[in-house]
Structures are given as structure tokens and as C-alpha cells.
Amino acid sequence: MIAAYKASFRKYTLALCAMAAAGSIAWFCSGQLAENIFEQRLNNVHDDFSAAQVEPNTQIDKALEALGRFDRSSQECSGEQYSQIADTVKNFRFIYQAAVQLENGRICSSYGQKITSVSAGNESNRILVKGRTYEISSDQATSADTDFIIISQQSAYVWVNKEILLDNMNLPEEVQLDLRGPGGMASITSMNRQPLKLQEPFPLEELVTTTDKAYVAFPNNRNELISVLSVALSDLTALRWKLFVVLAFMLEALVYIAWRIHSYYTSTVVQLRKATRANKLNVHYQPIVNLRTGHLVGAEALSRWSLKGAAIPADVFIAAAEKSDLICELTRSVMRQVAEDYSTYFWACKDFYIAVNLSAQDILDSTFPDFVASIMATYNLPASAIAFEVTERALLDHESASIQLQRLRAYGHRIAIDDFGTGYSSLSFIESVPVDMLKIDRSFITKDKIAAKDALWRHITHIAKALKLEVVAEGVETQQQLPHLASEGMLLAQGWLFSKELPAHALARRFFQCPVSLNPQTD
Ligand code: C2E
Ligand code: MG
Ligand code: MG
């Protein structure tokens, strides 16, 4: 009992550990997977963003080049210069305004008027790279529009409208873009977002997580600006949880399937099938004794099987075999073994028989009688050498059973009803089923019942006599039972009083000691 509790405790602890391990693996993998997915997603966004940058970059290059060719030596901005600057802007959709600074410091702009300064004045928002200055301006005095990137090269300036630029990039709503200068200088951030705080130095082209963001930084071959694409860490965490649920479910399902497969392959039936096919099943024989002479008249073949060193009770593994399709295979294996043992040890023992137990499936197997005949022929045995035992339970389908048993009898085998008296059936079945022997179940001849001349015991012996069949008393355990058996005319008996089941060679030794003493044996 305690061992069973221990085994099931071990089983459930193991199952819990496997589930916990699967959960941890799922959590780890979901983290990795979520990061990979986000990294891939940001890579894709960056590819789109790089493609979308080509047109504005070309326009900026062209505008700055055109503005660079301006004559800056004049003292004032002429009307012609104003309109030339305005024309430059007009042709480029991304450039909102432009300006040129004359040599004397005056600034001529596409606004058509002089402006005093183009700087937004905030040093921290200015990036100087490859001779160009990028400056973010959200408070441009010369325009009602607010968000610009002012790009200047030497004395030429262009205002790029951030909103149009971002529209063109088509950045997903949740992705923030920061443009960083070399050496960690100020950043230009996409609309209405706080610049990303990066811990320097940050690696390029791999996902980095901070306390609130996950980002990938991409170098830009064109101008050494670094584009940092970021998402909120909560998005990554949400994805991780979703993946965790899916992965955990899949892994738990895998653990469960593995568990079931393991249980299947370690199940009694599978092990028993293996043992049957490998001839690892033993057949032992329990003698049947003539009470008058003390001679062994026969023996019952009983299968024996051990799993991992522990003997499994016959009724347990036979019941398991009967529930599957294995029983027919097992019976045939027993049949082969019995024939071999008989031909080895008892071939000269005239009238000695071995009884083989049959299950319902064997009786209904139409090929079984022919199989038996072929085995008997192979070992050159007379049919009288083998009898068959069937229980009343195995004869539920009287008609088919009767046909099959009749075929066996036609070959010359005798049929015994095993455990007689314990079946459900009325005695009428004996008329329809061909039978030669009755084996009275041991429950009727227990010491007390037999001594008290129990009503059932008397009833059962009367039936046996009336049927005029050969009768074997099963399960005889004590000397005290013998006179009661004799007084009822019982001639044959089987039980631990005479012997437990023996290997074939020991049975042969016992046979040749005949007549056996009717004292308890210790083999
Ligand atoms: P069974 O055919 O009635 O076999 C007799 C059972 O009673 C055997 O149990 C035997 O060990 C036990 N027995 C014999 N003498 C005594 C006794 O004096 N006292 C007591 N208490 N028991 C005694 P076992 O070997 O455990 O077999 C149980 C059942 O398993 C058998 O009952 C039989 O129905 C079945 N069985 C065993 N081997 C085979 C087989 O190869 N094929 C089939 N179909 N059934 C088998
Ligand atoms: Mg039996
Ligand atoms: Mg029996």
C-alpha cells in the first residue's frame, strides 16, 4: 500500500517537474522568439524606411546644390533671388522652404523676405555630419507650421516638413524613429515623441531592451546618421506572453503525448506481447492426481510471467491479454511450449495428458483447431495428450463455442469445464456444449464447507454424478479434505496438497516417482 502511494507520489512529482520544466523552456523560448520577431519587424520597417528616404534625400541634395550656386556677393536679397529660391522649393514636395545666407550675413529665404536667423537655437537638437547640419525645429518663427528638420550645407538651408517626411515613410503607429548623429549627438525624433534615451555605446543592428523600450540602431551609409527604430517594451512583453501561452500549451501537450507513449510502451499488454514473442513466458504444470492410486494422470499448464523481477499473477496478465487481441497469440505460444515439453518428457507416458486453458477468443477463433492439429502433427503427439479447459464465462456464445469445441473433440482432444459452479449459466449449457470433464471450483471444497457438507458442495457433486462426467476437485489443500472427496466418489484432484505448479522437468520427475504419496510435497 505504502509502496503504491510512493510510486504514485513519484509519478506525480515527476509529472509536475516535467510540466515545470516545459513551462520554463516555454518562457525562455517565448522571450527569444518575441525578440527575434521584433528585431525582424524593425528590420523590415527599416528596409521600407530606407526605400522611402531615397526621394526626399535626392530632393534635399538637389535643392542644396541649386542653392549653393547662388551669387552670395550682393548686399541685399533681390526680387529675382527671392523668386529663384521660391522656384527651387516649388519643385520639391518634401522641401517646404529654403534660404541662402549672403556673404554679409543677411539671409534671403523663399518666404520672400529677410529673416534674421534660421537656427532654432537649441544646440542639443543639432547634428553636424559630413559637412551638413541637421537641426530639429518645432518653433519656427517664420512659419505657422511647427515641425521641421532644417538641413544646411555651407550657406544654403532647406526646411523639410517632418509630417510629410514621416507620412512618406509610412512608419507603423507603434514604431518611433530617432535619427542620431555620430558620437551620440542629439537626436531627431519622429512626431510628438520624446527622444529615445540610449545607453552609450549601443550596439548596431541588434535588438536592445531598456526599462521601457526595445530598439534596433541601423547605420546609414549615406550620411553617418544612425536611425534608431524603437517600440514600447510593453508591446514586446505582450507578445512574449502570447507566445508563452501558445508554446507552453504545445510543450505541455508534447509532454503529455510523450507520457502517454511512455505509459503505452511500458504498459502490461505491450510488455506481455514482447515477452510472448520472445518466448519469455514460462509454462509450469500442476499435477492432477488419481486419489485411489496416487498416480499422476495429467497436469494443468499454467502460464508464468515476471516483469522486472516481480512475478505478475496469472489472472492479472491473462485478463490484460484477454482485453487486447493478445490472448490468442499467448495461447498458441503456450500450446507450442506444452507440445514441446510433452514430446520431450512424456512421449512414452501413455494416457498422461496436459490440460491447456482456453479463453473465449481462442474458442471463437476458427483457425485454432487446425493450428492445434498442425502442432500435434509437428511433434507427433496423439490428440489424447492434450486436453482443453474452458470456463463457463468463455462459453457465452454457446452455439459457436459448441461448433469449435466439437472440432477439437473430433481431433480426439478432451474438453473440461474449468471452475465449474462459478459461472452464471444454467446447467442446460452442458447439453449443448460437448464436454468430457468437470473441474469443480475450489471455492466449493474449502475445508469448512466440505466438512460441514455444505449444501452447495452436495448439490455440485450430485450434478457431477448425474452427468456421468469425469470430475476433478480443484484446490485441494489439506489431508482433511480427502475423505470427503472419497465419500462423494471423487477420483481426481488437483491442489497444493499434492504439488504446486512445477517446471516440465520437475513434473516428469514427479511422474516417474509414481505412485505419489498423498502427503504434502515441498517442491
Ligand atoms: P485455473 O485454470 O482455475 O488455474 C488454477 C489456479 O488455481 C492457478 O492459479 C493455481 O495456481 C491455483 N491453485 C492450484 N491449486 C491451488 C490450491 O490448492 N489452493 C489455491 N488457493 N489455489 C490453487 P493461477 O496460476 O494464478 O492461475 C489463475 C488463472 O489464470 C487460472 O485459473 C486460469 O484461468 C488462468 N490461466 C493461467 N494460465 C493460463 C493460460 O496459459 N491461458 C489462459 N487462457 N488462462 C490461464
Ligand atoms: Mg484451469
Ligand atoms: Mg480452475
Contact predicate 464/269, CB 8 Å? no
Provide the grid cell at 249. Answer: 500549451
In terms of Cα–Cα distance, which of 438, 361, 436 is closest to 401? 361
Give residue 302 CA to ligand 1 midpoint distance, Å. Answer: 6
Buried b (16+ CB within 10 A) or exposed e, 319-341: ebbbebebbbebbbbbbbbbbbb
Q: What are the CA-CA distances from residue 91 to residues 60, 84, 350 (Å)? A: 11, 11, 121
* Boundary-marking domain end, from 239, 262, 295: 239
Helix axes 326-341, 368-378, angle to 10 degrees: 20
Output DSSP code: residue 502.
B
Name the residue range of residue 15's domain: 2-239
Residue 274 placed within a domain? no
Residue 221 and residue 100 in one domain? yes
- Max Cα distance, the chain (Å): 149
Strands 282-290, 386-391: pairing kind: unpaired
Rounded distance, CA 388 to CA 405, Å?
Answer: 9
Residue 37 and residue 99 in one domain? yes
Q: What is the pTM of this model?
A: 0.61
Decide: 147 in ligand 1 pocket, CB within 6 A: no
Residue 506, CB-side half-sphere exposure with 13 Å CA sphere: 13
Say which CATH number the domain at 505 has.
Answer: 3.20.20.450
Residue 142 and residue 15 in one domain? yes
Task: Specify the pLDDT at position 144.
Answer: 42
Residue 521 placed within a domain? no
**Of the bound ligands, which one is closest to the alpha carbon of residue 421?**
3
Q: What are the CA-CA distances from residue 471 to residues 436, 438, 468 (Å)? A: 9, 5, 9
Residue 264 placed within a domain? no
* Boundary-marking domain end, from 239, 274, 292: 239
Q: Which residues pair with 288 in a beta bridge?
A: 298
In terms of Cα–Cα distance, which of 495, 7, 33, 36 is closest to 286? 495
Residue 476 and residue 341 in one domain? yes
Rounded distance, CA 372 to CA 359, Å?
Answer: 15
Rounded distance, CA 30 to CA 37, Å?
Answer: 10
Residue 254 placed within a domain? no
Residue 259 placed within a domain? no
Decide: 318 in ligand 1 pocket, CB within 6 A: yes
* Dihedral angle over CA of 111, 115, 117, 119, nearest 10: -10
Contact predicate 334/303, CB 8 Å? yes
Q: How many CB atoms lie within 10 A of CB 15?
A: 13
Residue 215 and residue 348 in one domain? no
Residue 358 and residue 209 in one domain? no
Q: Give the closest residue (by CA) to ligand 1 atom 35.
A: 315
Provide the grid cell at 508. Answer: 516428469
Buried b (16+ CB within 10 A) or exposed e, 101-115: bbeeebbbbbbeeeb
Contact predicate 94/108, CB 8 Å? no
Q: Give the closest residue (by CA) to ligand 1 atom 46.
A: 357
3-state SS assignment for residue 48: helix
Rounded distance, CA 317 to CA 189, Å?
Answer: 76
Task: Specify the pLDDT at position 235.
Answer: 94
Residue 293 and residue 384 in one domain? yes
Rounded distance, CA 303 to CA 284, Å?
Answer: 6
Strands 107-109, 95-101: pairing kind: antiparallel
Decide: 109 in ligand 1 pocket, CB within 6 A: no
How far apart, in Å, do the first and last CA atoms of the chain sit?
A: 31
Output DSSP code: residue 225.
P
Decide: 418 in ligand 1 pocket, CB within 6 A: yes
Residue 74 and residue 137 in one domain? yes
Domain count, the chain: 2
* Boundary-marking domain end, from 239, 261, 294: 239
Amino acid identity, residue 92? Answer: F
Decide: 97 in ligand 1 pocket, CB within 6 A: no
Decide: 481 in ligand 1 pocket, CB within 6 A: no
Rounded distance, CA 169 to CA 227, Å?
Answer: 13
* Dihedral angle over CA of 67, 73, 75, 78, nearest 10: -40
Residue 520 placed within a domain? no
Contact predicate 181/127, CB 8 Å? yes
Contact predicate 210/197, CB 8 Å? yes
Residue 57 placed within a domain? yes
Q: Give the closest residue (by CA) to ligand 1 atom 45.
A: 357
Task: Specify the pLDDT at position 313.
Answer: 95
Rounded distance, CA 363 to CA 419, Å?
Answer: 17
Task: Specify the pLDDT at position 37.
Answer: 95
Output DSSP code: residue 495.
S
Residues in the chain: 523
Residue 473 and residue 355 in one domain? yes
What is the position in ligand 1's atom list of the atom closest to the CA of 497? 18
Residue 316 and residue 411 in one domain? yes
Residue 437 and residue 298 in one domain? yes
Provide the grid cell at 347. Answer: 512421449
Q: Map grid coordinates 505448479 to a residue.
A: 501
What is the position in ligand 1's atom list of the atom closest to the CA of 477? 18
Residue 304 and residue 435 in one domain? yes
pLDDT in 10s for each residue of the chain, 523 residues: 566 577 678 878 888 898 899 999 999 999 999 999 999 999 999 999 889 989 999 999 999 998 888 888 888 888 888 888 888 888 888 888 899 988 888 888 887 766 766 665 566 667 888 888 887 765 544 444 456 788 888 889 998 887 888 888 888 888 888 888 776 655 666 655 677 888 778 889 999 999 889 999 998 877 778 889 999 999 999 999 999 999 999 999 998 998 888 887 778 889 999 999 998 899 999 999 999 999 999 999 999 999 888 999 999 999 999 998 899 999 999 999 999 999 999 998 888 999 999 999 999 999 999 999 999 999 999 999 999 999 988 888 888 899 999 999 999 999 999 999 887 666 777 778 889 999 999 998 887 777 777 778 888 888 888 888 899 999 999 999 999 999 888 899 999 999 999 999 999 999 888 565 555 444 4
Residue 516 placed within a domain? no
3-state SS assignment for residue 128: strand
